[in-house]
Each structure stands twice: as C-alpha cells, then as structure tokens.
Chain A
C-alpha cells in the first residue's frame, strides 16, 4: 500500500504542479492599454473628440424628420401612404395624423430617437465636465471654452426635453453606475425650477466675455457651427420667452399636475415678471449679437442683374439659405450635410424637359399657410380693405403686371397681390421660382412637369416650400448638386421677433413696433403703424396690447414660417388647440384643367386634444422602472 501511495501521490503532485504553474498567467489575456473610458481624457486630442461627441448628441434640426417641429404640425402635409424610398422616419407624420401614443411614442427623444437620447447627451456633458482637468496638455483658455460649451449643451439638452415634455428631472451631476435602486429614481422638477436651472447654466456658459464662450468664431474653416456667447444668450431669451408664455405662465389646466410625492409641477399663477426677464434676456442677446457683427441679412446680387422684387425675395430666402449669412446666430452643421435631405424633400421638378427623381418635392405647405401671409399691403388677408377676400378661391388670369406670377396664366385670387414673403416662401401652379440659373415656371397640374405623375414624389397640396431651397441648387438630368446650408437654430430675425413680443407684454409697444418693423422692412413691407392705418379694417388694432399681440404673433408665424418654429409657438401661446384642430386643405392636384385643379380639397381632419397634445407622452416603460415619474396629462 505504502509504495503505491507514494507513486500515486507523486503523479498527482506532478499534475497539480502542471496546473498551478500556468494558473497565474494563463488567463491574463488582456494586455495593458486596452481602451477604456479613462483614455478619453488622456490628452487634448482625445478630449476634443469627447467634446465633438456632445455636439453629435444634438438632434439634427435641419432634417424634417428629426426636427420635432416641422412635419408634426400643420405647416406641411405629405402624400399618404408614403413609400419607403421617400422618408427616413414616419414618426413626425404619424404625430400630425394623430397617432402619437404612450406605448412607443413617436420622436421619442426621451428614450431614443434617431439613436439619440437627450439624457445620454446630458450624461456625456457631465462626463466631460467631471474629467476636463485630466488632459495635461489642455490650455486653460481652451478648457474654459470647452467647459462653457459643455454647459451650454447640457442646458440645451434640458431645454429640448423641457419644450417637449414640460417639467423634467434635472440631471446636474451624473449618478454613478453603482447608484442604488432608490437613488436612480429621479423626480420631475417644477417648471420654474427647470427654467431657472437652464438659464443659470446658460449664463455660466455665456460667461463675462473674457471666460466662457467666445463672442464670435474666428477660425472659420474649423469652428463655424460651434456655439458662441450670443448663441447662448439668444437661446436663453427663447427659454425665458417660452417660460413667460401662457403654456407655462399661469396655465390652470395643469394646476393639479403633481409628482406622486405631491410636488406641484406647474405654477398656475400668472407672473408678469417672467416677461420682464424674457425682455431683458432678448435685449442682452441682441446687443451681444450685434456687437459680434450680426445684422439682418440683405441680399448682395454681385454681378447678377436682378430686379428689386427678386432682391426682396432673396433677402427673405437667403436669410435662411445662404451659408453663414450675416443674420445667423447659431447654425447646426450636423452630419456634415445639415440641410441636404431637407432641400431634396422641398424642391419640385424645375425642368420641363426631364425628371430627376432625386428632387422629391414632397414637403408640401398646407393651404392654411398660404392664407397666413399678408397681402401686399402688409396686413392679414382677412383685414385688407383692398383685397377681395370673399372671392379668393375664384380663378383669375394673370398679366405681366403680376410679377410673381407667370403671365397669361390662371390661378386663384388667393395667389394675387400678396406680400413678398408669400412668394419667397412658397411656390404653386403659376408661380415662378428664381434660382441661380434663372427663373423657373412652376406648372404643377396633372401631367405637367412639376405635378403628380406617379404614386410618389409630388406635392399633395399643390404648394412647394421655396424658402428652404438654396438658390445654388443645380439640377441636371442625372445629378443634383445641393449646397447644404447650416440649419438656422437661431437667427437675428427670430430674436428681434422674440424681443418685440416680450416688449409688448411688458408694456413697451414702441420697442415692440420698432423691432417688428425692422423685420417688415427687410421683407419689403411698410411699418405696422402705416400698414394698419392705411389698409386694415381694424386700423387701430396695434394700439392695444392685445391687438398688437395678435399682430406680432402673426408677424412671427410669417417670418419664421417653415423653420420649425410655428409648432412650438402655437403650443406656448396655447393656441394650438384652435389652430391644430382645423382641417388640412390642398388643391385638387390630380386634375389637368385650371378649373378642376383650383378646387379646394379636404386632405385630412387634424385633431389636437387639449391639454394632452401640448406635451409629448413619456413611454410607459419609464414608469415601471421609476414610479416617482408622473405621466403628462391625458396620456
């Protein structure tokens, strides 16, 4: 027994040695220097990539299907059903068609839409702010700017959510991955706290001119598109104007809207001081922007000989479409092609002799938008004493005097004698379309080159969105050359109108009128005072606060038409429930004759449920993970 035990033990021992000899190192297969999150801040170059990541978390606002305010409302309509080649996401159209829901909300930037969650954006901002001291080679002034940019973007992501969801949780500091079950259950914060938080962050980002964001971008070739101090102040003005507006200021619909713990989320008492803050913020933003050289855009034709009418039209169009024009405060450069798809969606077939299927021309303004614009006298079509409102749907023949229209053509009275912004923003059967290569006649009845020829790629209303198409777009039979312009997230015209609106609310109609008139002047219109006095059936309208408010609202809707502003404006003014419950109309586009084509056709009966539809639904799974959250009213 003893001997074999010895050998047995020996051989077992040999095996054990064999096993343990390799045990230490055999499973250590991971070499040093495998990339982990720590490497993201090892030096300036890596950290800059993280800064770029923050910008990449922004929604692409220049795309009509990722901007939550373009196709979701009543500005545009689209043929239905739409084939997969012609859209990227059906979400905005389904919202417009009343199919928003809480199971899988459309354009769900809370959880994820287009691969983007605003909460992830916020977390990334916080990661940068927590780690920005790590890169040893980062110069202090660069660091100060990056910190300010991160703060700006953190505020902007919060703002994005606030605008969609109302009161939201504030994530000022990242919770650690190891946070326990209770810690991670964050609550929505009252509207006023959220607004204060966002504006405080924007103030910090704006800095005092020496630290924080730069006043303007100096390295144009590498930095245009990054935020500046005027951008931060302008966004702050927009936030405060929104917070002062009826949806958030004294909204009694939400008087009892509270967290499960009882915290009231809306302050249902109106506070005039909110408008005071908004006015001051708009004024500060305008001053900063103008100090940085921002001015209202005016078209410079260069060698091109153009008429005054065209010049006015291009003043209006290129305030949006000219790259880095003088009016731009913050332009989004996402994906390196910020507005390419948008222009293809908007531009119809311009050539009678051939079809280029890249031009989809499907982004069709509704008849509501056609009726929104003023007459050539600068007053609403319903108020103009000289304009034949009653017969606006009757056919009329054009003459050479109707410069915006094709001569010897027929179209409805609605299309005659309108303000320049109408012809600059929209096109229709019988209108003209000026491009760098000259004027194009839009003929869009059935069988005509810009009209409906097939089951896809046509304007369902008969209108086209001229405003968003850069005049440098070149179409040939086989190719399209689109000059993508930075999407104007904020431009001076917008800011002027915010300032005018806020000034009127704070009892300063003189300032309000002067800033609104600057916009009108650029658009080729006389001042509000002169236009109303001379042409309106209600000539004294601008002299009352309420009257001027109505005027300024319409002025804003016209000036900002098709730029993703209307949807938010109707909501913050709490007028969406009236406006977005009106039907969508277009022309009878499948008809070939003047008489048949120019018939008003009901396309869709929109429904806006108040107060439900003022805010996005939070997808219901969120409440399972976090019972401290509360769903928006009506969802």
Chain B
C-alpha cells in the first residue's frame, strides 16, 4: 500500500524512462526479438501501474500499464529483466526462455528512495536535513468534502481544530507548530499548491484523489527559501501529473448521512416561564412579572398551542440529519510526447436546517462545489518539457439570509437564534385556517409597544428568504523545464508563471414576513383570533439585497537554475537558485493605500553537499522584500544551515542493519520572516494614513447648520523603521527505522520570534493620538516536539499498518509591550506566559447574600447581590478592578494534538480506524450569549437546561451553582472574563472508521471494470470529554453550527 506515497517521484522517473524508451526503440528495432509480457502486482494482489521494466545491460525499458501489464522486447531469451518501482524492492528476474513472467513486488520499507516535496523542488527523504512532515495523500481521505478537517492528528507538527460544521464555513483552523506570534498579522502558514500561493479555502476544496504530494515545512532550513513569507511554516501540495498509457479512469462516488454531533439542550418552557418570573423577582421584589400564572397553567395544560405557544426552537429549526454526495472522477493517459491528468469533482453539502413547504425556494444550506483540473506535460524537445496546469474551483452556495448584525454565514446564526429567541410569546407560525383570503404564511409574533412586532421569530427569519454566494477561482500555470545536460550534466533550468483570479459575490432575496399576534376570544383561552402587526412593512413579494463583490488577481513568475552532480561517487553536491516576482491586486480595496498592488520579490538558493550518504550539509537562503516597508527596510536576508548524520550508513552499523534499518540525526538553524504583519488596512507603515474627508469629523455651521465640511482623521502615524517579523528556529531531529517495519521521526525545536509589531504601551492618552504608535518590539518563543510513528507489516495475505502522531507546541511571551508594572502588580505581565493565555478575574464562588457583598471588596462591574460571582481581590486594594486579572487556565489553542490509528487487511477486506485528540487547552463559555431571558433588540435568550437545573436561587443558595442569581438582564458583574466560565478543551474522538472490500480484477473483468472498491466509513462518531454542553471541539463557538457526525458509503471504480 505504500506505493501511493510516492507519486511525486513518478513524474521524474517517467521522464527518464520515456527517454530510455524513445532512444531504446530506435536502436533495438532491427534485431529479431522475443516478446516477454506479464503482470506486476503488489503483495495485496493489486496491479501496479508504472513499474519500470528494464532489460538489464541495455537501454531497453518500458512501464507497466494501468492493469500492471507490461510487454517488452528482449534480444534473446537469456536476458535479465529488472523491475523497479519507487517504494518497492527492486527485483531482477532471468527470462529463462519464458514468454510470460508475472511478478509480485515487495514493498521497500526502508523508504530509501522516497521523495518529498520541498521548497521549489523535491528531495530524497534519505538526504533530507530539514524538518518536513510528508503524508500519503490517501491518509487525508475521509467522508468529508473539506480537506482541512482531516489534518488534525494526522500530520505531526500541525495544531488543528474545527470550530464549526456549517457547509462553506467548516474549515478547520491549522497552525504549524502552534502560533508563535501575537501580532495582529498573519499567524497561519503559507499554502502553496503547485507553487501557487493559495488560501485555506482552496486547500479545503482539494481532492485527496488529485494530490500527488503533501508536505509541511516546519523548520527554518525547510522554509527559509520563502524568506519573509515562511515564518509560520509552509504547506506544500503538488497535484498529480499524467501517466502515459491507455487512458485510465478512476471514479469515486460517496453518499453520506450527516448529523450534528451534539445539540445544546434547552429547558422545557414551563420551567422557562417560571424561572423568567424568578429572574425578575429575585432582583426586584416589586418587579412586573413577565408571565402570568394563567399563561403558565394554560401552556402546561396545552389549552391552545397558538394562544399559549410552547416552541422548541431546536426542533423547529433543525433537522435530524441531511444527505450529502461527493463525486470525483479522474483520467490519466497519454503517449510519449504528452501526458495528461484530468480531474473533475462535484460535491454537494447540505445543511441541517428545515424549510417551509409553503415557499417554492429552499432556505436550507446547500453548498455545491465543483473542481476541474487539467495537468498536461508535453515533451517539447528531448530536453525540454512544458507543463500546463489549469484548475478551477467553484462554490455555489444557497442558504438562509443572514440576520442583520450577525457575522459569519447564516447557518450559524440559525443555530444561535435557537437560543436567542423567546419560546413562549408567540407561535412560529399560525395555521393557514387562522386567516381568510391571505396567501402568505402567518408567522407569529407579539408586540411590546402596542405597535409592530417586538420579537425576532427565528423560524420566520430562517424561511423568509435565501442568500446565495458564488465563488470562482481560476488558476492557469505554465512551466518550462530545460535540461542543460548537453552543456554540462546535472544542470537544468525551470521557468514558471501563473495567474490566479478569484471572484466572489453574494446577494439575498427575502420577503418581510407577515407577523400576526393572537388574542383570546373566549375566557377559557380555547379560541382566538389573530391580528396583523406589521401591515406597513410586510411584503408578499421578495425583496432583493445586493451583497459584496470581491475580486482579486495574482500574477507570479519564478525562474530557477538547478545543478546536481556526484563526484567520485562519494561527493554529492546540488545547488538551486530561484528568483520570484509576485503581484497581487485587490479590486474592492476600500481606500487608496489598500488598492495599491501587493508585491514580493525574492532570490533564494539551496546548496547541499553529501559525503558518502553519511554526512550531509545543507545551506539555504532567501533574500526577499515586500512593498510595505520603507525603501531601506524592504529587503531581508534569511539564511539557514543544516547538518545530518546518516548513522545507518556507517560501516559499524552494518551488523545491526536487520534491527536498525534507518538511523539519522539532523540539526538545523536559521532565520525566516513574516511580512504580513499588522492589521489588514496597515499597508505602508512608513506612510501616515489620513482621511482628509472624514464625514465623522465634519462640522456644521450656519443658520440651519447646513454649511458643512468634512474633517481630517489620522488612522496611522508613519514609522520608517517598521519591518518584518523574524523567526529564528533551531531544530534537532532523529529518523529511526526498526526491523524494516517501524519508522519513528522525532523533532524537537525552539523558535525565537522577534520584531513582532505592537502598539507602544507607554503612550498615555494625554498624548491625544488618534491611532496607536506601532513598532517591532515584541518577542516570543515557541518550543515543542513533533513525533510520528508508523508501523507496516505483512503476514502473507494479511497486512497491518499502524500510525501515530504527537504534536506538542507551546509558546511564551519574551518581550511584551506593556507598562512597567509595580512590584505588587507583576502578575499582570504577560511575559513568560503562553501567547494564547487568557487573563481574567479569579471567581471564588457566588456571594452567599447581600450582607456578604457589603462586607467584601467593592466589585467595579455593575450591580452585585447575593448569588452573583464573588471575585478575588488579588492586589489587595479593597476593590475588584481590571488590575485583579491573572492568567487563567491553559492557552485557547491546544498545546497538544495527537492521533493514532490502525489499519488491517486480509485478502480483499480492509478495516481502519483513527482516533484524534487534543489536550492542554481551555475555552470560555460566553455567558452573555446564554444569559437566560436577556432581551436585546427583539432577541430574548432561551434557557439552557443546565441553567434551569443548577442556578443560585433564594431557596437554594448554592454558592457553587453553574449559574449565578438569575437576572433578566445581562449582569455585567457576572459576565466578566473569569475562571467561572472556563472549561477544559481536551477531548479524544473517534475521528474516522472505514471498512472496505476490493473486488479483484478477475471478477470484475466481466463487467469491463478494472477494479472496484466498496467501502463504508464514518467520522466524528464518538467523543470523550469532560465537557457535556456541546461538542468540545467547538470551544467557545458552541452555540454555532455543530461539527458533523457522518456515516458514509462509497464506491471507487478503476478501469
């Protein structure tokens, strides 16, 4: 199964082979020959395409076709055939007069020839010095159409988590070796797909089927070639290239059932009303009760669901499950001159929102994404190759309209509205029979003022319209490779240019719902009539709202010279020099400075020297600049150096070879930069930014105040000295192979980040500045360990594979721009604490009663009574203020991410399972969002079951209750950031499980199919965590769209 790991290498390998082929045929054509043919299989019995079959001692060679079948002309029957394929042990077989020779190639576990995608090229794994995690793209397959959700736990050195499951907004956030900067700029890695700088959305849409190589560059030696852009690590992805031969099709179809891993639980509505009354009385004994006993009783008795409604918004807004489909097809083939790889993908992800049958439009989330890819390699001359890669990615989204004032996609706001809506004041919708002669749906509402609807009806909001957005990303890339071996062997050059065009627009269409309120027409509350609340504003027709239109374009050029030579068989040297130009333009920039092009220019190089495959030295550099800095600070030099000792290749290790198949020590040190610092509007730090027509600072004069001029505002003060952030990284690693079946890679690193852009803290407000003064003053340190292990073993028809990764990444402030704290306030300093450390008050418990409040330090955050949170006076000044905050809990990004899994196969069956976990993080419940009964612009919060069951009340003065004394308003005392709302973010989940069956070719041939795989898999099936209110991976975003649990069935056909 290992052979799929090394697709990257194939391209190069095939080039060489074709070269052999074309020349070989010419020479051998005249000689009479026997033809030997046969099939090459792997140990699992699957055909191996692309295996090189060479007649030893000649240049006569060929590759196996898609069915693993080869046919070669041999000069006589006594020759020896050499079968070789990357990742497999080379086999030499004497023809011995046979016409048919079937071969089973054994996998080569030593990975000696495995190649890895590295900056501006590829390297043999054996000769690598830097710290790079490469993954077999197959490992990234799962029942999802979002690749980023598969990264956590599978790639050592990657910290990843997924906060939302909403189609179109379900990207996992991922960071290479955690986050080591606290600037407001870019903290996530540079993503390069076929050398094209891409967004995480583009990565999310990539199909594992189309990926040839996937690498994560972790240390300075690996990423310093990217100079001022590589400090946060680099993700390198290459897509597949064509393989010559008869066209080979690969079709995959999946259908899955997706449901929420967990919904938050609301209390029943009788409890809701009783506690809403309690919330008023407990604060103000004379307060007006929101719900009368009659209403409560009649609601409980179910007298009339329209007059005494009781809505469970979760049930009314959210479906139990949804169905999604994924389809991917790729074709590869070609001849000696040109090879192609063509792929198309169609994925449809549906949301779990309900729809209103009376509408002929659908408000449920539906994300259709399309991908097209065509990679064509053309042999222009025997030494020149041209490659054209074009790809397009298109998202068509349909979903509910966003509520005004909410951020993110509307699906999340539907979930949020399930808790921010009053469940008992109005029904979601009245039956059509309630009103005569109206065609529109009769949505429920109630008035607060006697006029107009006063509440937000989440059901009406959700079904009253639909929003669409469409994105298109088009990439066209041209690459020319010239081998200058006719000038000097080992010299080659490469030119690459691409352009990337992105466009986005959204729009929404919605009607203004007709809201009705019900009033009883009989004393017993059994009959009612309804009256229209918003006659003036409701519409039966759809209104149109234009949305954003975003466009940007990138153009890029890269030229490289490569040289490699081995002198006297022991001294291997390679050199690479590459120069790049990049230009990015944003169409809807917003202001002049942002509209100017974003540019980068650079020169980078890599030089390696290896002595006898034992001692390896590598030096890299990046020299590049970006347009955002003053002329004298534009260019920076980013060098790195690495050494490696391949102990396994030493003579003295020979006796141990059967035990220690691989042993290498590596050490690197170097500098990388990050030029994407500061806020997105901060383009040119050396220029001040002023708005000479700021309408907010205008004045009005004259009789009717009508003589007006706009004012002047300053949003940035110039600073010529601002430049990029720097990261100095030391990495020490070890690669260990045991018994030819187990590989262990351990990397330990320490990174020192300096020049982090910060606002100066010593500027007092008396300076009167309207913008902060920024400078490169911050420093931080990151350190950690990445471990990956894999185990592969075959026992006859059975094979076993185990994998595990462990990533520990921690960070701390070294220099933070902060005031010089007095000796009794040093705990306020962030220095020495992790970058994602939250500071908050120490909540001791709830106050027992008002008397205790009076006798305790004064809490400066608003009204306090018994049952409210009591904070600790850390600095002992008799008051609780913002000076009493201390570091709380663990960082908000997990420090540990790990994963482990086991796959096994027997004959045609295989089964695998993968667990993924996250540890050492804290998250905060947002108490404002769950404060029951709090009213805000028509939204009135619901009551979580946990609050109903466990809150401080006058009868039950539990000073450790989950929720403090009820309040119909958001209590600013209780909603301060404190450990009261802190929770442990650790979890372990069964991330994926798969069971598959492979139909053998023999069986399938009847149907004209090469091979067929049927499989069933699932993801996020089970999670273990101490936190029970919602899926722990969502963290603070628990009221949003939940992470999805998926059951999937798929088939994969090759022919």
Show the binding face of A for B, using Cβ within 8 Å: 3-4, 7-8, 11-12, 15-16, 18-19, 22-23, 26-31, 34-37, 39-40, 46, 48-50, 52-53, 55-57, 81, 83-85, 94, 99, 101-104, 110-112, 115, 117, 119-124, 169, 171, 174-175, 177, 179, 181, 184-186, 220-226, 323-324, 333-338, 355, 357, 453-457, 484, 486, 620-622, 624-627, 629
The one of B577, B828, B882 in contact with A103, judged by C-beta atoms closer than 8 angstroms, is B882
Q: Considering only CB atoms, which chain A residue lies closest to B880 in the complex?
A: A103
Residues of B within 8 A of A484 (CB): 705
Query: Is there an interface contact between B710 and A4, defined as CB atoms closer than 8 Å?
Result: no
A117 to B765, CA, bound (A): 8
With A19-B601, A222-B702, A225-B702 in contact, is A12–B711 under 8 Å at CB?
no
Interface string of B794-826 (1 = CB under 8 A from A): 000000000000000000000000111110010
Stretch at the interface among B133-141, B390-398, B544-552, B685-693: B685-693
Query: Is there an interface contact between A26 and B491, defined as CB atoms closer than 8 Å?
Result: no
Residues of B within 8 A of A624 (CB): 761, 818-819, 821, 825, 828
The one of A115, A184, A223 in contact with B763, judged by C-beta atoms closer than 8 angstroms, is A184
B404 within 8 A of A: no
B883 within 8 A of A: yes
B488 within 8 A of A: yes
B406 within 8 A of A: no
7 residue pairs of the A-B complex, CB under 8 angstroms, read A7-B487, A83-B448, A177-B769, A221-B707, A333-B699, A621-B882, A625-B765
Query: Is there an interface contact between A103 and B861, defined as CB atoms closer than 8 Å?
Result: yes
Residues of B within 8 A of A7 (CB): 484, 487-488, 491
Q: Considering only CB atoms, which chain B residue lies closest to A48 in the complex?
A: B709
Query: Is there an interface contact between A333 and B705, defined as CB atoms closer than 8 Å?
Result: yes
Query: 3 closest Cβ contacts across the A-B interface?
Result: A123-B768, A4-B488, A53-B711
With A4-B488, A83-B935 in contact, is A53–B449 under 8 Å at CB?
no
Residues of A within 8 A of B691 (CB): 35
Query: Is there an interface contact between B687 and A453, defined as CB atoms closer than 8 Å?
Result: no
Query: Is there an interface contact between B692 and A46, defined as CB atoms closer than 8 Å?
Result: yes
Query: Is there an interface contact between B484 and A123, defined as CB atoms closer than 8 Å?
Result: no
Q: Considering only CB atoms, which chain A residue lies closest to B591 in the complex?
A: A35
Smallest beta-carbon distance A29→chain B, Å: 5
B435 within 8 A of A: no
A7 to B489, CA, bound (A): 11
Query: Is there an interface contact between A625 and B688, defined as CB atoms closer than 8 Å?
Result: no
Q: Considering only CB atoms, which chain A residue lies closest to B490 in the complex?
A: A4
Max count, chain A CB within 10 A of own CB: residue among B490, B575, B705: B705
Query: Is there an interface contact between A225 and B627, defined as CB atoms closer than 8 Å?
Result: no
With A122-B768, A220-B703 in contact, is A4–B687 under 8 Å at CB?
no
Q: Considering only CB atoms, which chain A residue lies closest to B710 in the complex?
A: A49
Smallest beta-carbon distance B927→chain A, Å: 18
A34 to B863, CA, bound (A): 50
Q: Considering only CB atoms, which chain A residue lies closest to B762 in the complex?
A: A181
Q: Considering only CB atoms, which chain B residue lies closest to A80 in the complex?
A: B284
With A8-B491, A52-B709, A123-B767 in contact, is A222–B701 under 8 Å at CB?
yes
A171 to B769, CA, bound (A): 13
Smallest beta-carbon distance B696→chain A, Å: 7
Query: Is there an interface contact between A53 and B766, defined as CB atoms closer than 8 Å?
Result: no
Query: Is there an interface contact between B603 and A35, defined as CB atoms closer than 8 Å?
Result: no
Smallest beta-carbon distance B556→chain A, Å: 13
Those of B610-657 within 8 Å (CB) of chain A:
625-627, 631, 634-635
Those of B701-717 within 8 Å (CB) of chain A:
701-714, 717
Given contacts A221-B704, A224-B703, 11 further A-B contacts (CB under 8 A): A15-B578, A46-B692, A49-B712, A103-B881, A221-B706, A223-B701, A223-B707, A324-B703, A336-B705, A355-B450, A456-B448
Those of B463-515 within 8 Å (CB) of chain A:
484, 487-491, 493
The one of B449, B704, B764 in contact with A454, judged by C-beta atoms closer than 8 angstroms, is B449
Residues of B within 8 A of A186 (CB): 764, 766
Show the binding face of B for A, using Cβ within 8 Å: 288, 448-451, 484, 487-491, 493, 559-561, 563, 575, 577-579, 581, 592-593, 596-597, 599, 601, 603, 625-627, 631, 634-635, 684, 687-688, 690-694, 696-714, 717-718, 761-770, 773, 818-822, 825, 828, 860-863, 879, 881-883, 935-937, 968-969
With A7-B487, A40-B712 in contact, is A119–B861 under 8 Å at CB?
no
Query: Is there an interface contact between A177 and B773, defined as CB atoms closer than 8 Å?
Result: yes
A456 to B163, CA, bound (A): 40
A553 to B952, CA, bound (A): 50
Query: Is there an interface contact between A620 and B703, defined as CB atoms closer than 8 Å?
Result: no
Max count, chain A CB within 10 A of own CB: residue among B768, B769, B821, B822: B768
Query: Is there an interface contact between A4 and B491, defined as CB atoms closer than 8 Å?
Result: yes
Residues of A within 8 A of B592 (CB): 34-35
Query: Is there an interface contact between A171 and B601, defined as CB atoms closer than 8 Å?
Result: no
Residues of B within 8 A of A115 (CB): 696
Residues of A within 8 A of B634 (CB): 27
A357 to B536, CA, bound (A): 15
Query: Is there an interface contact between B687 and A336, defined as CB atoms closer than 8 Å?
Result: no
Residues of B within 8 A of A185 (CB): 762, 764
Query: Is there an interface contact between B688 and A119, defined as CB atoms closer than 8 Å?
Result: no
Query: Is there an interface contact between A56 and B699, defined as CB atoms closer than 8 Å?
Result: yes
Smallest beta-carbon distance B723→chain A, Å: 13
Smallest beta-carbon distance B457→chain A, Å: 18
Residues of A within 8 A of B766 (CB): 119, 169, 171, 184, 186, 626
A175 to B768, CA, bound (A): 10
With A624-B819, A626-B766 in contact, is A37–B702 under 8 Å at CB?
no
Smallest beta-carbon distance A486→chain B, Å: 8
Residues of B within 8 A of A84 (CB): 936-937
Residues of A within 8 A of B489 (CB): 4
Query: Is there an interface contact between A99 and B863, defined as CB atoms closer than 8 Å?
Result: yes
A39 to B688, CA, bound (A): 11
Residues of A within 8 A of B712 (CB): 40, 46, 49-50, 53
A488 to B629, CA, bound (A): 50
Smallest beta-carbon distance B77→chain A, Å: 43
With A7-B487, A48-B709, A184-B763 in contact, is A336–B700 under 8 Å at CB?
yes
Query: Is there an interface contact between B711 and A52, defined as CB atoms closer than 8 Å?
Result: yes
Query: Is there an interface contact between A625 and B707, defined as CB atoms closer than 8 Å?
Result: no
Query: Is there an interface contact between B626 and A27, defined as CB atoms closer than 8 Å?
Result: yes
Smallest beta-carbon distance A632→chain B, Å: 14
Residues of A within 8 A of B861 (CB): 101, 103
A99 to B631, CA, bound (A): 52
Query: Is there an interface contact between A30 and B705, defined as CB atoms closer than 8 Å?
Result: no
A83 to B603, CA, bound (A): 61
A202 to B637, CA, bound (A): 57
Query: Is there an interface contact between A36 and B765, defined as CB atoms closer than 8 Å?
Result: no
The one of A15, A34, A121, A454 in contact with B450, judged by C-beta atoms closer than 8 angstroms, is A454
A30 to B712, CA, bound (A): 21
